[in-house]
A and B are shown apart, each in its own frame.
Chain A
Amino acid sequence: MDKILSIENISVEYTVGKKIIPAVRNVSLALNKADSLAIVGESGCGKSTLGLSILNLLPKESRITAGKIIFHNQDILRLDEKELQKIRGGKIGIVFQDPLSSLNPVIKISEQIRETLKTHHHDFSDEKIEKLLETVQLSNPKIIKNYYPHQLSGGMRQRIMIAIAIATKPEILIADEPTTALDVTIQKEILELIKKLIKELNLTVIFITHNFGIILDICNRLAVMYAGEIVEEGGTSEIIKNPRHPYTKALLSAIPKAGKYKLRRFNTIPGNVPDLASLPPGCKFNPRCPKKIEKCAKECPQLEQKENRLLRCFNP
């Protein structure tokens, strides 16, 4: 298989005041051509940080302390600004969480699409822009392209963000919670669109989300993150059918099920997301884990191959 991106032992730290917060610890992931990988976890587990570090886009309070990100045999983290600009938006596209604030409010839609095309030396004619708007299923592209972002709805703006991300025919698309800021019906439309584009453009996708429900029919691979680490990784359907890590199980049981009318409380995971600045010793999930054994609080489990997946647990 063609490996196009491999993340090797990446660690990222944030500095807040004098505290150093390890947001991502020793994460490795590999992505093959036409793979679609979902990274799932609670808020604050480091999944977005990981996504941003792939393009070296982290804010300046953070620092990548170790690891490599190999894309076509070159380490993205060691590239200079010019080479980085070629990859950003050219070879790797990114769609952000909040379409309402990710478009520049004072520039017309058409110009925002055009500048990406122009920067990466693609055809930037009006026809090309209209075609892109059609690709993301916006009706009346001739009219819409002359609008300013505030004249469009959230869903339409996210379609435009997607149009910009795929404009240069990137090899990899990073979607950082692309539907979180949208309401449910629009979410479904956007997901359908992303699914369709993956198929049509043969995209390799990294889909960052906290919502299990939406990944099953988009992603073939799944990595579950907890407190900056990967705790379970493997095929999406295998993991969802048969979760092994207690955290994955807890996350899956927290999804409300449609069709059961009997009134009941939602399942929740007891406890809180751990404070990254003062992590518990041993397994990071042990204070909240229902299947905790003595060893869990003492030793840190490693990510090991177990049957058809990678797992970080002593007592699965």
Chain B
Amino acid sequence: MLKLYLEKLLKNKLAKIGILIIVALILTAIFSPLISTHNPIEGNILERLQPPSKNHFLGTDEMGRDVFSRMVYGTRISISIGIIAVGISVIVGTFLGLISGYFGGKIDTVIMRFVDIMLCFPTFFLILMVIAFLEPNIYNVMIVIGLTSWTGLARLVRGETLSVKERDFIIAAKGLGLKKRRIIFVHILPNVIAPVIVASILGVGAAILTESGLSFLGLGVQPPTPSWGNILTSGKDYIHIAWWLSLFPGLAILVTVLSWNLLGEGLRDVFDPRIN
């Protein structure tokens, strides 16, 4: 089954490109200390604002720090925030969606009205507000992004659950005396997981973008810890004299989000029985 899906996925050229870039990014994140050429936090002030050269592949910033090394370490931040934030939202969204769809009635009404209320707030504004009250560090950013982005998933899972729970094998499972917990998590969950996988892969791109946005506004990961967003922020003040400071982190964000989206759309085609 898995093998079949993988083969189908690899036939899609765009998805393949997406996978290659994502694998490269994850490797970069894991092996940042080996790949980076300089210390990302401490720079040589005498070498400030140098254009890309042999010694500094992507130039240096206003403090003389190596932009390439900072971006390599920034990959860690972006990828881990993306994955963990989405992990949180998948767990919360799937759980609440399953409960809501399976039990229906009052439980469903309460959860879905809460989702409606959450969706009324512009997500980014909500995140900004929460971060303003909390200390803006990497963990808070992950948790806040995760806890504000589960609503769509909850709706998706609820809808799927509503249709799966009426299928014969669920009635059969009830007829065999299985416990509710088992029916929900063993019988229904695997049957609704495909769209969840697609939505969560697409969600990783969105979470990375949100984190960059937050860091750009100074509410995300705080300097001197490097993240693509805050490299971009410090770069914008020097955009007339040091184009490399804002171009490369911008490109990195673009390419990363794009490749998660390519993978997500590839997976959607794989899981969709109508496209074959």
Q: Which residues of A contact B (CB under 8 A)?
A: 55, 57, 59, 81, 84-90, 93-94, 96, 98, 101-107, 115-116, 119-120, 148, 161, 164-165
Contacts and interface: CB of A to CB of B under 8 A. Distances in A.
A87 B177 CA distance: 7
A107 B168 contact: no
B105 to A, nearest CB: 10
Interface in B136-189: 166-169, 171-180, 182, 186-187
A96 B177 contact: no
B182 A57 contact: no
Contacts of A101: 167-169
B175 A89 contact: yes
* Chain B interface extent, by class: 20 to 34
A93 B172 CA distance: 10
Contacts of B187: 104, 107
B216 to A, nearest CB: 42
A244 B172 CA distance: 37
Given A96-B168, A98-B168, A119-B182, A104 B191 contact: yes
Contacts of A104: 169, 173, 187, 190-191
11 contacts: A55-B175, A87-B177, A102-B169, A105-B169, A105-B191, A106-B190, A106-B191, A107-B187, A115-B182, A119-B182, A164-B176
Contacts of A119: 176-179, 182
A85 B177 contact: yes
Q: Which of A87, A89, A164 has the most CB of B within 10 A?
A: A89
Contacts of B174: 57, 88
B175 A88 contact: yes
Interface of B: 1, 166-169, 171-180, 182, 186-187, 190-191
Contact of A90 (B172, B177, B186): B177
Nearest to B167: A101
Given A115-B182, A115-B186, A119-B182, A103 B169 contact: yes
A88 B179 CA distance: 11
A102 B170 CA distance: 8
B96 to A, nearest CB: 21
Contact of B178 (A89, A94, A102): A89
A19 to B, nearest CB: 21
A84 B177 CA distance: 7
A116 B167 contact: no
A96 B175 contact: yes
A103 B175 CA distance: 12
Q: Top 7 A-B pairs ranked by shortest CB distance?
A: A89-B176, A89-B177, A88-B177, A101-B168, A85-B177, A106-B190, A102-B172
A204 to B, nearest CB: 17
Nearest to A106: B190
Contacts of A93: 176
Nearest to B187: A104
B4 to A, nearest CB: 12
A58 B178 CA distance: 16
A59 B178 CA distance: 17
Q: Which of A84, A106, A119 has the most CB of B within 10 A?
A: A106
A55 B177 CA distance: 10
Contacts of B173: 104
Contacts of A105: 169, 191
B179 A107 contact: no
Contacts of B178: 85, 89, 115-116, 119
Q: Which of B168, B176, B187 has the most CB of A within 10 A?
A: B176
Nearest to B182: A115
B172 A96 contact: yes
Contacts of A57: 171, 174-175
Q: Which of B172, B182, B190 has the most CB of A within 10 A?
A: B172
Contacts of B175: 55, 57, 88-89, 94, 96
Contacts of A98: 168
